Amino acid sequence: MVGNDVVDLAEAEVRNSPLHPRFDQRVFSALERQALQRRAALQRRAPDRLRWILWAAKEAAYKLRKQSDPSTLFSPSRFEVSLDDRLRGTVEHEGDRLRVEVTVVGDLVHAVATLSGSRSEIVTGVEASERPNASRAVRTLTIRNLAQKLGLPESGLRVLRTGRVPRLEVEGWNRHLDLSLSHHGRYVAFACDLGVTA
C-alpha cells in the first residue's frame, strides 16, 4: 500500500490566503506546533513551507490508511509527523507508525507514505501539467510512466476506483496494484506499490 500528496507552494490559496487563527490548532499536534514556532523564530517565511510539508505528509499517510481501512477519517491532528533534516521520518496514527519521505524542489512539495518495514518497490512520478482537467492529467501521467516501467502498452493499464481508493488494473494480471493519485495547483503526482520484487 502507498499514499502520496503534492502541494504547489506557489498556488494562491497557499501563498496569499491568510490562515484562520485556529488552523494550526486544528491541524497540527502539540509537537508539530512547537516545530512551527521554532521555525518561525528562525525565519519569518520558513514556517509556511514547513506547514505545507507537514500537511502533505499527513495527507499521504491518510491516503495509505484509507487503502487498508476505508472507514478511516481525515482528522489531521491525529496524524503526527516526525521528520529528520532530510525530510524522512514517520507519521503516527492510532498506534500505527507509517514511513514517509518528502521531496521539496522549488515550489513543489511531494510526500510519499508507505508501511513501516515494507520491502515493496514504489514507483512515483510528478510533473507540472497545463491540462485543465487535473484528474485526467494525473491518470495520463500514471499510465504513461507505469506502462514504461512494466514494459507494457499503455492500452493494457487502467485506473479504477474502489469507493474513493484508486487501483491500477493491468491486463492479464489477476491482481490490482495499490495506487495513490494527487494534484494541486500546477502539479500532478502518483505513487504505485508494485509489491515485493526480486
**Given CA atoms 108, 190, 116, 64 in this order, what sign does their dihedral have?**
positive
Superfamily of segment(s) 2-196: 4'-phosphopantetheinyl transferase domain (3.90.470.20)
Q: Could you tell me the CA-to-CA distances from 26 to 21, 29, 38, 43 in Å, in that order?
A: 10, 8, 19, 23
pLDDT at 45 over 70: no
Interatomic CA distance for residues 20 and 5, integer angstroms = 22
Tens of pLDDT, residue by residue over 92-148, are 998 899 999 999 999 999 999 999 888 889 999 999 988 789 999 999 999 999 999
What integer pLDDT is reported at residue 18 of this predicted model?
57
Tens of pLDDT, residue by residue over 54-90, are 999 999 999 999 988 888 888 999 999 999 989 999 9
Structural domain boundaries of the chain? 2-196
Cell numbers for 14, please give them: 497557499
CA–CA–CA angle 185, 7, 15 (5° rounding): 70
Block residue for cell numbers 521539496: 104
Interatomic CA distance for residues 13 and 23, integer angstroms = 14
What pTM does this model have? 0.90
The count of residues in the chain is 198
DSSP, collapsed to helix, strand or coil, labels residue 130 as coil
Cell numbers for 15, please give them: 501563498
Interatomic CA distance for residues 45 and 160, integer angstroms = 40
